[in-house]
Amino acid sequence: MRVFTQQKNLKFLKYIQATLKANLLFEKDVHYVVENNKVVLIDDNTGRKLPGRRVSEGVMQALECKERVPVQQETQTLASTTYQNFFRLFNKISGMTGTADTEAAEFKEIYGMNVVVIPTNQKMVREDVNDVVYVNEEDKYHALLKEIKEINKKSAPILVGTASIESSEELSNRLKREGIRHQVLNAKYHEKEAMIIAEAGRPGAITIATNMAGRGTDIVLGGKKEDDDSEGENKTQTSFRCWGVTCYWNRKT
């Protein structure tokens, strides 16, 4: 390693570090996908693709070499600023979010803004249950499939949240082997998102999704209202099951 830390060889050290990061820290269908002969990054929080976003310091080029796609020139950042300084450029600022109350002190300290909590339109009827931890993934998937089968017999819609494209496809393959019909929503099928979400609340629907179906997603019980008959269906459907196959930093995800 001493030879690489010499001044004339520092650029080679950078290339080695970028290659190691691309191979050890970035996993296909977890942190990025390959489409149209390009590497497209995936947002860890939302599960959505980030077209045009690139990793710096040669890591993106290393990823492109890893996936054997055309290597593009590294971009250069000419200027940057923090969110706080950017918002201070405006004379008036306001916002709306479902998680503002937990950060009320920060909004007050940094922006001098008060947080007002608006009551929900209807009483919350969600029932939260404790986490269940399994010794290995095989036991976890076995228990999950058993639960899905039991709930599906009652025709209640089911949403299973996964942390990555890879895990959503793993669960999907297991459901296929059991002959269980379902839909998969991840960054590979983002063009079908509206249709899948519209059907996710219908009786008997099973939806496997990444964080794309997380916060801010409105799944209507009974399915999307399209006519008078479907509206009646919405009124009779009252049960909806939602599971996560892993722990999330944000339970609302």
pLDDT in tens, 213-236: 666 677 888 876 654 454 444 445
Nearest to 47, CA basis, from 182, 193, 200? 193
Spatial distance between the Cα atoms of 203 and 226, rounded to a whole number of angstroms: 15
Count of all residues that appear for the chain in the document: 253
Residue 250 scores a pLDDT above 70: no
Going from the C-alpha of 104 to that of each of 91, 96, 110, the distances in angstroms are 20, 12, 10
Only one residue has tokens 């025709």, namely 155
The CATH 3.40.50.300 portion of the chain extends over 137-244
pLDDT at 171 over 50: yes
Mean per-residue pLDDT over the chain, rounded? 85
Query: Each residue of 137-152: pLDDT tens digit?
Result: 999 999 999 999 999 9
How confident is the model at residue 230, as a pLDDT? Answer: 47
Whether 219 and 198 have beta carbons less than 8 Å apart is answered as no
Digit-coded pLDDT (tens) for 39-83: 999 988 778 889 888 988 889 999 999 999 999 988 777 888 998
**1 versus 214: which is more confidently predicted?**
214
pLDDT tens-digit readout, 100-128: 898 999 999 988 899 999 988 888 888 88
- Spatial CB neighbours of 224, under 8 Å, sequence gap ≥ 6: 198, 199, 201, 230
Span of 16-25, 62-71, 174-183, 224-233 with lowest mean pLDDT: 224-233
Give start and end residues of each alpha helix (H) in the chain.
10-24, 59-66, 83-87, 104-106, 137-153, 165-177, 193-199, 228-236
The pairing of beta strand 32-35 with beta strand 241-244: unpaired
Architecture, CATH, for domain 137-244: 3-Layer(aba) Sandwich (3.40)
Instruction: Please tell me the predicted confidence (pLDDT) of residue 232.
Output: 45
Fold entry, domain 2-66 = Pre-protein croslinking domain of SecA (3.90.1440)
- Distance CA(108)–CA(117), nearest Å, equals 14
Range(s) for CATH 3.90.1440.10 in the chain? 2-66
